[in-house]
């Protein structure tokens, strides 16, 4: 699917939902695969998409998730922090 002429005015935002609490593999988004963290691999691959205009890391405002705020600033992507995520926000 190619972005046609009529799609030029449409902005597409990719949300990367990330949190560090996990029962099976805690802090997996910060684990390194090769020379990069998993979150960085995810950001880089989303940036390669010709369909995505903006990337936002979505996480909670829990202090344990602070590394995602720092990564979003370092990688120059947006961030959205909420106390609780819900599809009704």
DSSP of 5-55? GGGTT---EEEEE--S--SSSTTGGGSEETTEEHHHHHHHHHHT-SS-SEE
Which residue matches tokens 């599809």? 87
Closest CA to 33 of 23, 45, 21: 45
pLDDT tens-digit profile of 34-65?
999 898 899 899 999 999 998 888 888 778 87
Which of the 8 DSSP states describes residue 61?
A: -
- Residue 88, pLDDT > 80, answer no
Q: Reply yes or no on whether the pLDDT at 69 is more than 90.
A: no
Would you give the end-to-end CA distance of the chain in angstroms? 30
Length of the chain: 89
pTM comes to 0.72
């Amino acid at each position: 699917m190619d972005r046609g002429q009529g799609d030029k005015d449409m902005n597409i935002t990719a949300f990367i939902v990330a949190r560090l609490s996990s029962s099976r593999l805690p802090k997996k988004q910060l684990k390194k695969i090769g020379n990069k963290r998993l979150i960085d691999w995810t950001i880089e691959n989303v940036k390669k998409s010709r369909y995505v205009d903006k990337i936002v890391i979505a996480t909670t405002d829990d202090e344990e998730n602070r590394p995602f705020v720092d990564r979003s600033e370092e990688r120059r992507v947006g961030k959205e922090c909420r106390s609780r995520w819900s599809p009704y926000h």
